[in-house]
Amino acid sequence: MTNTNTPGHLWLDELSTTEAAKAAIEGKVVIFPVGSVEEHGEHLPLCTDSIQPEYIALEVARKTGCLVAPPFRYGIINAGRNFPGSLTIQFSTLFSVAKDILSELSRNGFNRIIILSGHAGSSHMVALRLAAQEVVYQNGEQNGKQRTRIMVLSDYDFADELTAELADPKDGHAGTIETARVMAIRPDLIKSKGIPSTYDMPRFEVVLHPEQYFPSGVHGDPTAATTEKGQKINAHIIAQVIKLVEELES
């Protein structure tokens, strides 16, 4: 579909109340970006997981005419929580915030929603998914159809599809892929080349100081990152999220 948004009006909260009512009636899809404040080695900023989904969401909105809800830039940090600058929130907090935002979007008539999270920790994703589930269940059916449709994903669900081609198979947190993506999005926030390293967490034990298993805060090789790789990964994610928007519009 073609973009009918007023130029510059990609953010939901840049609309007026009248425009918001119209957008809801038109059945616009809304992307809700969720990030985190989390250590990403010495070479990437704490907002790494926030700027990635926000960039993807805005590019998708530019191309499809969907809207981007104001982002929520906090998440549940486990492995990296003791590094300076990491700010974690509780599971119940993330669940409540996500549920409130989804319920409010729905109450305003926006019933096609994508939660796009830049942080992909397992408990973080479960909190978002449970919030979406509760809103979908509560809203039930309308005219024999599910009233509210919500997709919950991390942009790393799609970035990982290019790992085999562009990075080491074990590439992870603040590694090649993530560093390359930030180089392509906000080169001014790259602090250094980064230090290649890996971590080896205990498989089952809950530990007080998980950072001792990865003192650099990096899992992968940031020095193998390039802007070109980042552009390629971001373009792939944008194309995949556009397909999701079209699926929700159909």
Please give the residue ranges that form the binding site for Zn ion (CB under 5 A). 48-49
CB of 36 to Zn ion, least distance (A): 7
By beta-carbon proximity to Zn ion, the closer residue of 135 and 218 is: 218
Sheet strands (E) in 106-169: 112-117, 141-142, 145-146, 149-154
CB of 212 to Zn ion, least distance (A): 20
The closest residue (CB) to Zn ion is 49
By beta-carbon proximity to Zn ion, the closer residue of 65 and 220 is: 220
Lookup: tokens for 159 = 């970035």
Q: Of 56, 59, 60, 74, whose CA–CA distance to 121 is shortest?
A: 74
The C-alpha angle 154, 160, 165, rounded to 5 degrees, equals 155
Within 10 angstroms of residue 146's Cβ, the number of other Cβ atoms is 13
Q: Of 178, 161, 155, 171, whose CA–CA distance to 229 is shortest?
A: 178
By beta-carbon proximity to Zn ion, the closer residue of 48 and 117 is: 48
CB of 232 to Zn ion, least distance (A): 18
Q: What whole-number distance in Å separates Cα of residue 50 and Cα of residue 250?
A: 29
Ramachandran quadrant class, 217 (left: phi over 0; alpha: psi -120 to 50; beta: rest): left
Q: Are 72 and 35 in contact (CB under 8 A)?
A: yes
CB of 113 to Zn ion, least distance (A): 23
By beta-carbon proximity to Zn ion, the closer residue of 48 and 106 is: 48
CB of 39 to Zn ion, least distance (A): 9
Residue 89 dihedral angles phi and psi, to the nearest 5°: -120, 165
CB of 120 to Zn ion, least distance (A): 7
By beta-carbon proximity to Zn ion, the closer residue of 65 and 222 is: 222
By beta-carbon proximity to Zn ion, the closer residue of 49 and 221 is: 49
SS3 50: helix
CB of 3 to Zn ion, least distance (A): 29
By beta-carbon proximity to Zn ion, the closer residue of 19 and 160 is: 160
Q: Are 77 and 122 in contact (CB under 8 A)?
A: no
The rounded Cα 240 to chain-centroid distance in angstroms is 14
Q: What whole-number distance in Å separates Cα of residue 236 and Cα of residue 88?
A: 29
